[in-house]
Amino acid sequence: MVQIVDYKTYQKEDGSEFHALIVQGGIEAVKSKETGRTYLTARKANVPCTFDESTCESLKGTQMPGSIKKVEVETYDYVVPETGEMITLNHRYEYFSEEESIVSDNVISKELVEA
């Protein structure tokens, strides 16, 4: 399950706006690479939607089936909002419906089958 915790408004190149719901998964324990200590966190992902701003606002707190998974992507630079530090990442977090999660967890990629 994920929960809608907020929304964000984006502007397209043509000047029109659209909204994305910010969904958050449950808490998980993660071990710090720097200190080796365990801390708790929750993954978040932005999901574009067709809702207007008032609908997005009213959906805060709504739970929906699915999960947030780490997905590898082409390397990009990211500025940490709290510190201003620029880091290089090669992943992002994406929302997957229950059906998508089942398929991605149980289907073997073609590359692995042919190897």
Q: What is the pLDDT along the chain (115 residues), one digit of tens a residue?
A: 999 999 999 999 999 999 999 999 999 999 988 899 999 999 999 999 999 999 999 999 999 999 999 999 999 999 988 888 999 999 999 999 987 766 666 666 666 556 5
Give the CA distances from residue 113 to residues 45, 104, 109, 110, in Å, rounded to whole numbers and listed in that order. 31, 15, 7, 5
Give the separation between CA 58 and CA 81, rounded to whole angstroms. Answer: 26
Q: Say what the pLDDT of residue 57 is.
A: 97
Instruction: Provide the H-helix boundaries in 20-83.
Output: 53-58
Q: pTM of the full predicted structure?
A: 0.76
Q: Hey, is 114 helix, strand or coil?
A: helix
Contacts of 77 (CB under 8 A, 6+ apart): 86, 87, 88, 89
Which helix (DSSP H) or strand (DSSP E) does residue 47 occupy? strand 38-49
Q: Say what the pLDDT of residue 94 is.
A: 95
